[in-house]
Amino acid sequence: MRGLAVLIMFECHTFNSFARLDVRNGGPYVLSQFVGGMAAPLFLFMAGMTFGFQMESLERREPNRWRRWLVALRRAGYIMAIAFAFRISNWIASMPRPELAEITKVDILNSMALAMGAFATASLFDGKNRVRFALGGALAVAVLAPMIESLSWSGTPQLIVEYLAPGPNRGRFPFFPCAAYVGFGLAAGAIVKRTAAEHMDRLMQWCALIGFAAIFTAQYFANIPFSVYAAPDFWRSSPSLVLIRTGISLAMLASAYLWTEYGAAARWSWMQALGQTSLLVYWVHVMLVYGNIVKHWKRALSIPQTALAFAVVTALMVALASARLAWKNRKKQPTYAPTPGTLATRTP
């Protein structure tokens, strides 16, 4: 599922960087960005799921809830550190004309870290209460997003506005409503982690049903002619859009489970390779697609040429992911060949 999110991200960024300006009003480019809009929600949802897995495992090892909270906060801090390392590397890559704003830009990793820091509070709860807290928090973030957008943020430091508030000329991934995806993912992860293997099929059926119900219900409320909000913006802060994308994430979760459990053969998978190295390929492909190394082709390609560029970028990132996993597996191998009659041991 994370590998699919990576693939959608490659497609979105490649078309955004390379497609000519005169083809951006056409159907193919609009479709590429529409599909690409699912990449960030998927990453945030999957980050929440992983966070939920970690909290469930930590609960079994650590009875002190305050220590669990500190561990969860450290995880969020670790993601924020990676976010700033990524921004600094982009700033260095923009030489000889670097801009300080490149370091403080609020990107998807910054948004993910802030949301994880807020939902780290879920580690204070046990079992079903953790799921209830995550669901309640996610719904609250989604419902409050249009209100936060309508507030007057004049006089507030721009960096704070970009981290928190949706709206034109503000952050691309603000806490409201992006953190909602992390909360919904955390609830899903906690439920999945607590489900026995023999009941997983039934759980995935419920995920698909709930996902499609959320999609159609939210779409219905998005299309009614009145709203409880003063001036809602569907594409920036609408709770309906959050629920639609969460429903899509749940349906994709069920589909990914169905494929990996019953459809995929037991062999190497390029999609899983991308998912297992998502941070590495995210980091490298952004520097490749938006970096100076390809400036000759930026905003200069037709739709077929851009599609070819997308295929090339994907192939390069699959090769990078495969090399990384091969190197990682190599380090796990024994450091010497045992002689006959001796006990073979493996290094830690």
Quote the pLDDT of residue 333. 67
Burial of 180: CB neighbours in 10 Å, binned 0-12, 13-18, 19+: buried
Residue 309 and residue 13 in contact, taking contact as beta carbons nearer than 8 Å: no
Distance CA(33)–CA(54), nearest Å, equals 33
Those residues whose C-beta lies under 8 Å from the C-beta of residue 332, and which sit 6 or more positions away, are: 346
DSSP secondary structure, 79-114, as one string: HHHHHHHHHHHHHHHTTTS--THHHH---HHHHHHH
Dig out the tokens for 47 from the structure.
């980050």
How much is the pLDDT for 346?
44
Q: Give residue limits of the domains in the chain.
A: 2-330
Which tokens go with 178?
Answer: 């992006």
Predicted local confidence at residue 267, as pLDDT? 83
pLDDT of residue 334: 61
User: What does pLDDT average to over the chain?
Assistant: 91
The pLDDT, as a whole number, for residue 343 is 43
Question: Whose structure tokens read 């996610």?
Answer: 138
What distance in Å separates the CA atoms of residue 99 and residue 93, rounded to the nearest whole number?
11
What are 301's strand-pairing partners?
A: 19
Return the residue matching tokens 């609009």: 30
Each residue's pLDDT, cut to its tens digit, for the chain (348 residues) gives 999 999 999 999 999 999 999 999 989 999 999 999 999 999 999 999 999 999 999 999 999 999 999 999 999 999 999 999 999 988 887 776 777 788 899 999 999 999 999 999 999 999 899 999 999 999 999 999 999 999 989 899 999 999 999 988 777 899 999 999 999 999 999 999 999 999 999 999 999 999 999 999 999 999 988 888 877 789 999 999 999 999 999 999 999 999 999 887 778 899 999 999 999 999 999 989 988 888 899 999 999 999 999 999 999 999 999 999 999 888 776 655 555 554 444 444
Q: What are the residue ranges of helices labelled H in 37-169?
A: 39-61, 65-93, 101-104, 108-119, 128-150, 158-164
pLDDT digit string (tens) for 259-276?
999 887 778 899 999 999
